[in-house]
Amino acid sequence: MSSTTSVPEATDCSDSLVKAAQQVAARLLVAETDHRRLARGLLDMPAVDRLVELGLIADGPPDSMDGKARGFRDYVRRLIRRVQPVARAADIRVEPLDRNLDHVARIIGLDDVERRVLRVGALMCLCGLLREVFDNGRCAHNDWERQRQLRGLFGIDAAELGRLFSRRARLYQLGLFDYGDLDMQVSDQFARGLCADNFEPMRLVAHKVRQASAGNLALEDFSHLSDLDRLMRHVRISVERGAAGVNVLVYGPPGTGKTQLVKSIAAELGCQLWEVPSADEDGDVRDGNGRANTYALVQRLLQRDGRSLVMFDEVEDVFGRGHGLLDLFGGHRSARNSKGWINEQLEGNPVPTFWLCNDIGAMDPAHIRRFDEVLELRAPNRAVRARIVARHLPGDLVSEDCRRRITAIENLPPAQVERAGRVVAALADASQAERDQAVLRVLENSLRAMGMMARLPPPVLPGHYDPGVLNADADLEEIVQLLSSGEGARLLLYGPSGTGKTAFAHYLGERLDRPVLVRRLSDLLDMFVGGTERNIAEAFASARNEGAILLIDEADGLLREREGARASWEVTQVNEMLTQMESFDGVFIASTNLVGQLDAASLRRFDFKLRFDGLRRDQREAMFRRLWADLAGGEASATDPDPASLERVAALDGLTPGDFATVRRQLERGRARVSAATIAGRLAAEVALKPGARRHPIGFQPA
């Protein structure tokens, strides 16, 4: 074996670092008491060359000894005697590494043995030759032999070694080593961070934790959150007093602004926000264990900072209760998902933490009740949406009508508005109509992809809408005046289809200057037990959040007579509806065509029960004249429709405002001249299709 191997620049180490690496290498050799085993290991691997390159020894064994085991063992004995003084000397200080390591050990609570293990791992990371000596020169072909070698290196027994590398070991719990890693692999970023002259503890985890950027939303954009003021006071006082165990759980659908809310809170409090992201610097997704390790270390590093907050996003994989595919097929559940570890983190964290997730359905209630605050983040209400839309979609980009349409989307995530604004800003050269269309398509596509198809705002009442032609059994204008006081009320609108019930609800919203939140039966029914009740509660909560009138169409499907129920879930649905109606302090409207099927108890809960019928004769004539004037243009201005057509329409019992709206849509699409007879014929055809209408049989009939 040649002794002329040149020393490469791969060491790249300071003099003190080289000497410290030499000392660790010497201790590795001295720790091996079985010289025969060590000799075999050195013969099989190029470790002696690495020792020469490291400078621990001047040269290797003579070439004449190559392959002679007995002579090589004698050489190894002499080698060990030569390096023993280096191995047994006090640790060679490496600055600033040792100074910074002392600081880290104090703040994260490492004992002397843990510090020495971490130091050796850092030295092997910083000095590649030492790593090669450890990898190539050890006579460890299995875990047992590795453990024996490490016990000798650190002068500890088997029990102490087990403590250092167990699943509960501090070095593992803090993510400094991987579990079961007897190679003591320390990340390059961590090791180099320890060598910084201007040392900052958070640099050690800069590759795993990032300083949160400034938010795109202001705190006023979350004014719809009634608990926000209390939450702010709690976090502010906790930061000032250095309180431990302060945790806030924020949950809600994607895009509702959870991250932006936490950024706004941190900015308002003047705190630095540190984020434990779900992906690393390369964009690769990090598993829950790795992020939990990082979180635990960050808490230790920041515990004396005093002006920091931590944000842990997408925590479902940390708090999950074993519903993932890995658990389904018998996969290993980490200690990170155990109740004990999670409870420890929620009770003793020194830095206030915001835990963010989309859904808390898989979280153990025992964990949820340990949070100081649990905040559900919904899509913002209309007033807040208007401010967000105005900020990101100013008038020079899109039209006012477009902004109104976007603002009316009740489940609109603020983040999507901000992204849509960036897209449309790139279309400055396009026409306003093109920009309007582009931003609406961008929002529609993103909402569909997120499974959050926008509920389009209700159609604006047409200019020809006239509540005076509705045939109700009460003075509708008087109802409007009574509700103008701002007090809540429960209205039941019932009657045949097309009689104007839904249109009146929108008219009422227009008069009261309130949005109308429409929920149809199909929006609320759910295939799973309890799902419909949850959707009912969500509808009332959304209306309360929006300050909106809640209109539930086809309400008979949810307020059906309980005595005739065939299943228990039918009863619970009615009970949920009645409970929500009583606790709702806004304007609630239920519309139905089947009032006879409603539960008797539900009828007693309505303040106003308004019946809508088909049009009276005078109303039919008035609506026909108006439709004729709108469709026939100049010709209609000169004369009334012909008497025969007028009489035909006036005689159509069962004609409703909905029939006139249908015929209007039919004829407005055509370009041919419209006659009064054509309009009358279309209206008669609509009435003929209704149940109970007299129909002419098909084919020839006997005289």
Domain boundaries, the chain: 13-205, 210-320+339-376, 385-450, 467-560+569-611, 617-689
The average confidence (pLDDT) of the chain is 84
Span 167-186, average pLDDT:
80
**Which residues are CB-contacts of 298 (< 8 A; sequence separation ≥ 6)?**
202, 205, 209, 274, 276, 310, 351
| pLDDT at residue 144 in the model | 77
**Which residues are CB-contacts of 82 (< 8 A; sequence separation ≥ 6)?**
57
| pLDDT at residue 278 in the model | 81
The torsion angles phi and psi of 14, rounded to 5 degrees, stand at: -70, 165
Q: Which CATH class is domain 210-320+339-376?
A: alpha beta
| pLDDT at residue 698 in the model | 44
Span 483-509, average pLDDT:
94
Does residue 13 carry a pLDDT above 60?
A: no
| pLDDT at residue 497 in the model | 93
Superfamily of 467-560+569-611 according to CATH = P-loop containing nucleotide triphosphate hydrolases (3.40.50.300)
Terminal-to-terminal C-alpha distance of the chain: 124
Other beta carbons within 10 Å of 28:
24
Pairwise pLDDT comparison (44 vs 19), residue with the higher score = 19
pLDDT in tens, 605-658: 999 999 999 999 999 999 999 999 888 765 555 567 899 999 999 999 999 999
| pLDDT at residue 327 in the model | 40
| pLDDT at residue 519 in the model | 93
| pLDDT at residue 330 in the model | 38
Candidates 376, 381, 402, 661; CA nearest to 517 is 381
For residues 267 and 215, the answer to whether their CB atoms sit within 8 Å is: yes
Greatest extent of the chain over all pairs of C-alpha atoms, in Å: 131
**Which residues are CB-contacts of 116 (< 8 A; sequence separation ≥ 6)?**
154
| pLDDT at residue 2 in the model | 37
**Model-level pTM?**
0.70
**Which residues are CB-contacts of 625 (< 8 A; sequence separation ≥ 6)?**
640, 641, 646
Pairwise pLDDT comparison (323 vs 373), residue with the higher score = 373
Alpha carbon 442 to chain centroid, angstroms: 20
| pLDDT at residue 333 in the model | 44
| pLDDT at residue 338 in the model | 62
| pLDDT at residue 560 in the model | 86
- Two tokens, residue 85: 């003084």
Candidates 482, 426, 396, 414; CA nearest to 452 is 414
Strands (E), 154-240: 210-211
For residues 247 and 349, the answer to whether their CB atoms sit within 8 Å is: yes
What CA–CA distance (Å, rounded) separates 339 from 308?
A: 26
Does residue 328 carry a pLDDT above 50?
A: no
Candidates 475, 516, 462; CA nearest to 630 is 462
| pLDDT at residue 8 in the model | 31
pLDDT in tens, 214-272: 988 888 888 878 899 999 999 999 999 999 999 999 999 887 889 999 999 999 999 99
Q: 401-414 as b/e, with b when 16 or more CB fall inside 10 Å?
A: ebbebbbbbbbbbb
pLDDT in tens, 398-413: 998 899 889 888 778 8
Ranking 84-98, 132-146, 202-216 by mean pLDDT, the lowest is 132-146
Ranking 60-74, 201-215, 280-294 by mean pLDDT, the lowest is 60-74
| pLDDT at residue 61 in the model | 67
pLDDT band of residue 449 (cuts 50, 70, 90) is confident
**Do 467-560+569-611 and 210-320+339-376 fall under one CATH topology?**
yes
pLDDT in tens, 459-468: 556 666 788 8
| pLDDT at residue 43 in the model | 56
Ranking 148-157, 165-174, 205-214 by mean pLDDT, the lowest is 165-174
Does residue 458 carry a pLDDT above 60?
A: no
% of the chain surpassing 90 pLDDT? 45
- Two tokens, residue 405: 């349409």
Span 587-611, average pLDDT:
94
